Structure 1
Amino acid sequence: MKWGYQTNTWGGVVGHPAGVTSVKDLYYLANGSTEEAVKDIAAAGYEGIELFDGNLMQYEERLGELRRLLDDHGLSLIGVYTGANFIYGDILEDEFAKIDKVARTAAAAGAEHLVFGGGAIRAGGIRDEDYAALAEALDRAAEVAARHGLTPSYHPHLGSLVEKPDQLDRLMKLTGIPLCPDTAHIEAGGGDPLAVIRTYSSRIPYVHFKDYGSGAFLPLGEGGQDFAAMLAALRENGYSGWVTVELDSHDNPLQGAAVSRQYINGQLANKA
């Protein structure tokens, strides 16, 4: 397996302000320097990065510069993370206009994966039909990714329709999109990440590792997650792809990345 790191620790997780009034411009964004993130991630010993769609689109007209930046630091572009509400018919075409643009740009930049988050929770609460709408939209999103040569997957997330274990199981029965488990989001939503990996191992082309403890997202080894058992479960099904470490925020992003890399080297290197 190969180890990557998400750049969102550099600047934290925000959204593009244009999306407030224009759905087609509603991107995730790490509000920091991608160049600094790439330098630090390489220094910490990782092999690739994942970007938010908004940070990718900052390079839309200068993809050669992004490719050179990655090449200069010996990193691959593993994938791009995007998302949408997915359940509101009136804005769906604008959401897919964005998704298609992101997929096209990600493919041109050399990415392998396109990861989708989302499934909005209405102000009035979740409706039963929202899961069918989300599933239909995710199947369409998977087709867009595949058309551009990218591997699609869905990332369960707090604050979406898919927080809890029963919600994930419900969605997975309705859609054919592969799963990108985020181990900390699964635990924070009341689930068991190891059980999720075992249940859906045949549908996992990509995975996010993040530790969790005392209600907080943490570098690997600082929480209570059993990553060695998760790697064993992935290997039992022949998994040999990327594992991306993600950490939404840290006072010192380079230090956070280094702590997780030291844990990988000391506890997981012979298991991956």
Structure 2
Amino acid sequence: MQTAERRNPGTASAEGARPAGRIAGAPISWGVCEVPGWGYQLPAATVLSQMAALGLRATEFGPDGFLPADPLRRADVLAGHGLAAVGGFVPVVLHRADADPLPALEGVLDGFVASGADVLVVAAATGLDGYDTRPELGEDEWDLLLRRLDRITERAAERGLTAVLHPHVGTLVESGEDVERVLDGGSAALCLDTGHLLIGGADPLAIARRAPERIAHVHLKDVDASWIARVRAGELTYSEAVAAGMYRPLGAGDADVAGIVAALEGAGYGGWYVLEQDTVLAAPAGEEDPSAPVVADVRASIEHLLGPA
């Protein structure tokens, strides 16, 4: 991965939006991912130390096994690096009538509360490994998915948590049409993931303007449209495109980062902006530091978002 030159003029703050104090990190920017065989996985101590050194105030949890499973220990590890717990990404199978996801989620919700987290980021998982294929749902399956999202929203709220649905490539809510089904068919809030929405054919700026009251969490990504076109054409799988550098530092891709942030801030959004530049790291050779380009990219994203000090 190479640190990119910026192709979008200006910064997100150029439109008057400066969300300082609400910028969080995500382990996926350091290549830490739940998908088997994703790439070289950096240790938590390295990732968290580098987040703190970059000035990030908080982080999402990352996949199971990255941080301690015990919620109190997990909170202690984050606090030891000066980081607060935002919450985490939880893939959940919502469409199968023979498997109710709520019983398993009860323990997850309890753990989030004990860790001091705020946000449960739910993805409508297919039940398959990875994000390269997904099935098509029938109307009954869609109805069940939406009802379960509403139930998860209610159960999270009872514990003081916000549950959000994350449109994500290779899940059952991926495209603009899928997002419209969620907005029109239920009450669940959204995680506005600017990169995944663009890859799925949706317009994150249009969604931010159309339903700002339904956006309760943001994954702020930039993405190279030329790689999106190749994924849509079937030339590459999603994971291959990520490994090739489809995600870019903020301002170095084709997402309207400034417009999205300005629209959200103008509508009164007060939640987190989680910086995510999904990355696949190769195993280091010799004394090479695989995290060096990651740190450079995250720093560039922070500078683009906040503008000059």
Q: Once the two structures are aligned, what percentage of the paired residues are identical?
A: 29
1:186 paired residue among 192, 197, 201: 197
Partner of 1:80: 88
Structure with the bigger RCO (C-alpha within 8 Å, sep 6+) is 2
Kept after mapping to 1: 8 A contact 2:26/2:274: yes
Q: Which residue of 2 aligns with 1:145?
A: 156
Shift of 1:199: 1.2
2:305 equivalent among 246, 253, 268: 268
2:258 corresponding residue in structure 1: 228
* Count of residue pairs the alignment pairs up: 254
What TM-score results when the alignment is normalised by the length of structure 2? 0.75
Aligned 8 A contact 2:169 2:196 in 1:
yes
- Answer whether contact 2:222 2:249 (CA < 8 A) is retained: yes
Structure 1 range deviating more: 65-74 or 37-46: 65-74
SS at match of 1:89: coil
**8 Å Cα contact 2:182/2:188 also seen in 1:** no
Structure 1: gaps spanning 5 or more residues? 18-29
Counterpart contact for 2:126–2:135, Cα < 8 Å: no
TM-score by length of 1: 0.84
The equivalent residue for 2:240 is none
Q: For the Cα contact (< 8 Å) 1:179–1:200, is it kept in 2?
A: no
Q: 1:247 to 1:72 in 2, by over 3 A?
A: same
> Does structure 2 conserve the Cα–Cα contact (< 8 Å) formed by 1:6 and 1:50?
yes
Partner of 1:107: 113
| Aligned equivalent of 1:129 | 140
Tell me, in whole angstroms, the C-alpha distance in 2 between the residues paired with 1:258 and 1:7: 15
- On the 8 A contact 1:8/1:51 being kept in 2, the answer is no
RMSD of the alignment, in Å? 2.5
Instruction: Return closer, same or farther for 1:108/1:90 CA change in 2, 3 Å cut-off.
Output: same
Partner residue in 2 for 1:197: 208
The CA distance in 2 between the partners of 1:131 and 1:202, in whole Å, is: 23
Larger-gyration structure (1/2) = 2
Give me the whole-angstrom Cα distance separating, in 1, the residues matched to 2:135 and 2:69. Answer: 37
The residue aligned with 1:256 is 294
Query: Residues 195 and 253 of structure 1: is their aligned pair in 2 closer, same or farther, counting only changes over 3 Å?
Result: farther
Q: Judging changes above 3 Å, is the alpha-carbon distance between structure 1 residues 258 and 250 closer, same or farther for their aligned structure 2 residues? A: farther
